[in-house]
Amino acid sequence: MNDLELLRRFEPVLRFTHGELFFPCPVDEYVERCELHLGRADGDGSRMLAGKGTVTLEVLGELRPPSQDHQHFLRFVDRPLEGRELARWLYRDERPVFSARGRLARVGLAIRALDSIFELVSLLRGRVPGGTVAAAERSYQQIRRAKPDYPYYGRVVRRSGYIVLQYFYFYPMNDWRTTFHGVNDHEADWEQVFIFLEDAGESPNPLWVAGSVHEFPGQDLRRRWDDPMLELHGDHPVVFAAAGSHANYLQAGEYLARYEVGIFKPISRFFDRVRRLWNEILRQGDPTEIGDRIAGLLRFPYVDYARGDGLAIGPGESVGWDPVLVAADDEWAENFQGLWGLATTDPFEGESAPAGPKFNRDGSIRQTWADPLGWTGLHKVATPGESKALLETRLGATLNELRSTELEIDALEQALPQLGLEAEALRRSEVYQPILDDRSRTLAESEAALDALIARRSELIQTGEAIQLHIERTEEGDYGDPTAHIRQFHVPLSREEIQESRLVETWAAVSVGGLLLGFVVILLFFPQIWIEAAGGMVLAFLAIDAALRRNLTELLIATSVILALVSLGVLLYEFLVATIVIVVALLSLLIIVDNFRELRGR
C-alpha cells in the first residue's frame, strides 16, 4: 500500500461532545480568510503584510523566518462581535446547548479560593476578547458553506521497524474558556493522533495509538492495540475530542485537567523532585499524599469534556474524512514557522495561537514531527517481529557471559586456598612482613572478586531464565500487561465524581464569594475581634464544605494534627531553655545507660 492507502486503512474515528462549535476544516480556506501580520515577539506593535483574500498556502510556504525579535502570524478575526450582534449570536435558535455539572464541586475549598484568584486574573489578562469566538464561528460557517469537508492532514514516517501514521487536525478556533469554562481561548488549533504499525511488508500490523493531550507526554497517553480500554471499529481506533480544547482522549468521559500556571512551574517541579526522592530513591511511602496535595494547590482544576455524544467523523459514521497527504514538497508545512492565528503577549501562557504541525511557537521543530517514536517512548520498545531475534541474541550473550563467569569462579575457587596457605605461612614468619602485606591485599581483592562474580552469576542465571520465559510467552501471543508502560493513568472521572448533588454545586459556586463577603462584614462591624471572628468563620466554612463533600472525618483529623503541632510549637517557644536542658539531660542519661549495658555484656 502507498502512504495514502495506509492512512485511510487505519484512520481514526473522531467523536466530539455535543455543543462543539469548531471541527476540522481545510487550511487553505482558513488561510484565505486571514490577514498576514509581522510583529515583534514581545507583542509591541505589528504591521499587516497581506489582507484577507490575498493570503494563500503558497504565500506562507515562501515566507522565511524574520529576525529573532519578530514573528509572522495570521489573524482570523479582525473585529470581535459586540452588543446586539453578539447577543443575537448567543441566543440564535440553531446554537447547540451544552450543559455540565459544576467543576468546582469536585475540589476542596482551598483550591476553589486559589482558583477564584486565578479566574479574576484571567479576566483581567485575557488577550482574546469575548466576542472573538462568535466572530470566528461565523467565519467558520462561511468555510463550511464554501467547502463542507472534514479533512485531516496525514504524514507517514518509517523508522526503526515502525511505520508511523500521523493524523493532523486543524481547527479554526480553540474556545475552551468561552464556551466550556476552560483555561484559554486562542485562534487556530493543531491537534494530532498517531498510529504505530509494525513494518511487516505487505501486511503492516497495528501496535499502538497515541494522541495529543495538552502538555502530557505521549508515553502515558499511548495505548497498545489490544488494550481493552481502547475502542476499535475494525482497524479504526475511536478517539474522543475534548470540547473546545480538542485534546484527544482514548476513552469517553469527563477529565479533570490540572492547569499549571507558568510562574508556579518551578515550585511544582521542586515538590515533584522531593516526592520522587522520597518515594522512588528512598523507597518511602506517602500514605497521606502530602506532596500531591501541596503540588495540587499550584494546579487549577478544569474539566475537559470528551463525552463523544456529538458529531462523529470517520469510517462507519454519517460523515467521513477527506484526507490530504502532507509531502516533503508541501512548503506551507515544511517552511512556515509563524503562528496560525493571533499572536498575544500572555504572561500566564495559553492565549497565543499555535505554530503549525512541524514547529513550536519559538521556531524549533516539534518532537512529534522530528521524533514521534521518542515522543511516545517507543525507541526502547521493539516490534513483535524484531523481539524474538533480539531476545535470542540477548539470551546468547547472557549465556556466553555466564559460561565465562563460571570459568573465572572456578579459577578463583582453586587459587584462593593456595593464596590463603601462602599468606598463613608468611604470617608466621616476621622476616617476610612486606611480602605478607602484598599477599594479604591480593587475597582480599581475590575474595571480593569472587563474591562479585558469584553475585553476577546469580543475576545472569535469573536474567537468562526471564528471557527464555519471555520468548516462550511471546511465541504464544502473550505480550504482557498492555498498560505496564503507563506511569500516570489518564482516565475519566467516575460516575460518582460527576454526579455531585445540586446542593454541593450551589455551595461550591457561592462559598468563596461568601467567605470574602464575610471578611468584609467582620472588618466593618467587628473590627476589635476580627482575628477570632475570621478564624471561626473559616473553620465554619471548612466544616460545611467537608460535610457536604463527605470529608468531615478527614477534616477533624487534620485539624487535630494542626492544633497539636501549633500547641507543641507554642510550648517549645515559651519554654525553650527548659526544653533544651531536659533534652540534654535525657540524652546524657541514655548514653550512660547504654555504656553500662555494654560493660555488663562483657
β-strand pairing of 248-249 with 232-233: unpaired
Q: CB within 8 A of 472, min separation 6: which ones?
A: none
CB proximity list for 375: less than 8 A, separation 6 or greater:
210, 217, 218, 367, 368
Residues of each domain in the chain carrying CATH 1.10.287: 385-475
Residue type, 337: Q
pLDDT: which is higher, 587 or 218: 587
pLDDT for 288: 44
Selected residue with higher pLDDT from 466 and 328? 466
* Alpha-carbon span 512 to 518, nearest angstrom: 10
Rounded Cα distance, 195 and 10, in Å: 8
Q: Are 55 and 321 in contact (CB under 8 A)?
A: no
- Greater model confidence, 261 or 25: 25
List, for residues 277-320, the tens digit of each pLDDT value: 666 666 655 544 555 555 555 566 778 999 999 999 999 999 99
Q: Which string of DSSP letters, residue by residue, matches 36-68?
A: EEEEETT---EEEEE-TTT--HHHHHH-----T
* Cell numbers at 307, concatenated: 463525552
Neighbour tally for 283: CB within 10 Å: 7
Residues 6+ apart with CB under 8 A from 139: 33, 76, 77, 172
The per-residue pLDDT for 546 is 72
Q: Which three-class secondary structure state does DSSP give residue 171?
A: strand
Cα R_g (the chain), whole angstroms: 33
Give the pLDDT confidence score for residue 103 in this predicted structure: 64
Grid cell listed for 308 = 463523544
Confidence class of residue 244 from pLDDT cuts 50, 70 and 90? very high
Hey, what's the cell of 541? Answer: 466554612
Per the listing, cell 512541524 goes with: 358
pLDDT of residue 435: 83
The 10s digit of each residue's pLDDT in 121-158 is 555 444 456 689 999 999 999 999 999 999 999 999 99
Cell 454519517, residue located? 318
Query: What is the overall mean pLDDT for the chain?
Result: 84
Phi, psi of 418 (to 5 degrees): -65, -45
Q: What is the pLDDT of residue 401?
A: 96
Tell me which range, 99-108, 428-437, 493-502, is most confidently predicted by mean pLDDT: 428-437
Poorest-confidence range of 232-241, 273-282, 329-338?
A: 273-282
Q: Is 20 helix (H, G, I), strand (E, B) or coil?
A: coil
- What's the helix, strand, coil split of the chain in %, to 5? 50, 15, 35
pLDDT of residue 551: 63
Provide the CA 457 distance to its chain's centre, in angstroms.
Answer: 40
CA quadruple 126, 130, 131, 135: dihedral positive or negative? Answer: positive
CB-based burial, 487-515: b 16+ in 10 Å, e otherwise: eeeeebeeeeebebeeebbebbeebbeeb
Of 270-279, 484-493, 571-580, the poorest mean pLDDT is in: 270-279
Instruction: Report how far residue 590's alpha carbon sits from residue 259's, in angstroms, rounded to the nearest whole number.
Output: 52
CB 343 within 8 A of CB 73: yes
Highest averaged pLDDT of the listed ranges 277-291, 359-373, 412-426, 500-514: 359-373
Extract the runs of DSSP E, i.e. beta strands, from 425-517.
Answer: none
| Residue 144: half-sphere exposure toward Cβ, Cα within 13 Å | 12
Q: What tens digit of pLDDT does each residue of 76-106 get?
A: 998 999 889 989 998 888 888 888 776 666 6
Query: Residues 146-158, buried b or exposed e (16+ Cβ, 10 A)?
Result: eeebbbbbbbbbe
Arithmetic mean of pLDDT, 46-65: 93
Measured from the Cβ of residue 192, the count of other Cβ atoms closer than 10 Å reads: 20
Sign of CA dihedral 57, 61, 66, 69: positive
Q: For the chain, what percent of residues have pLDDT higher than 90?
A: 46
- Determine the pLDDT at residue 130: 67
Which residue stretches of 306-357 are H helix? Answer: 331-335
pLDDT at 68 over 80: no
pLDDT at 273 over 80: no
Q: In this structure, are residues 337 and 21 in contact, taking their beta carbons and an 8 Å threshold? A: no
Q: Tell me, what's the pLDDT at 532?
A: 82
CA dist 141 and 504 (Å) reads 39
Q: Which amino acid is at 388?
A: K
**What span, in angstroms and rounded, lies between the C-alpha atoms of 583 and 241?**
62
Domain 385-475, second-level architecture = Orthogonal Bundle (1.10)
What are 448-485's pLDDT values in tens digits? Answer: 999 999 999 999 999 999 999 999 998 888 888 998 88
Q: Which of 148-152, 210-214, 219-223, 507-511 has the lowest mean pLDDT?
A: 507-511
Q: How far apart are CA 171 and CA 518, in angstroms?
A: 45
Q: Tell me the residue length of the chain.
A: 602
